[in-house]
Copies of this chain bind each other. A is one copy, B any other.
Amino acid sequence: MTAKKLTLNLDFHSGLPIYTQIVAQVQSQLANGVLQPGDQLPTVRALAEELRVNFNTIARAYRLLDEARVISTQQGRGTYITEIPPPKVGKKMKAEVLLALAERFINEAQRLGFSEPEIGQMVRTQLQLRKEAEEKSKE
């Protein structure tokens, strides 16, 4: 078993759902390089025991991360950080698709208590970071 330790810090009284906190921290640790592509995450049951929560809560977090292509969960095998960044296989360039995505994102953020300015600021920052990263990689 080569699963990483995955140290998570949950706040049970923050008003944020456990599964949301897990998703956030895994993505954060991936962005920080603490987690690397190919790393195996703890099993849903192992992490559940460590965090003292039900393993379905972990499964829910993993499912969200899987849907976001951040990790790959495989029944009977385990869960791994996705090896290659998601392929850009855009074919439906329809504005409606992007609109729906944006609405889902904004709704979820607002549901969790974030204000519209906060949301806008975060998106601007993230897009700017990616833009800079692209320019740097071109050199």
Report chain B residues within 8 Å CB of A103.
27, 31, 68, 126
Q: Sort chain A's interface into a size bin.
A: 35 or more
Q: Is the interface of A mostly helix, strand, loop or mixed?
A: helix
Report chain B residues within 8 Å CB of A111.
69, 86-90
Contact at B13–A83, with CB atoms within 8 Å?
yes
Beyond A15-B74, A28-B96, whether A119 also contacts B127 by CB under 8 A is: yes
Beyond A101-B105, A103-B31, A105-B102, whether A94 also contacts B14 by CB under 8 A is: yes
* Chain A contact residues, CB within 8 Å of chain B: 9, 11-17, 20-21, 23-25, 27-28, 31, 38, 40, 64, 68-70, 72, 74, 77, 80, 83, 86-114, 116, 118-120, 122-124, 126-127, 130-131
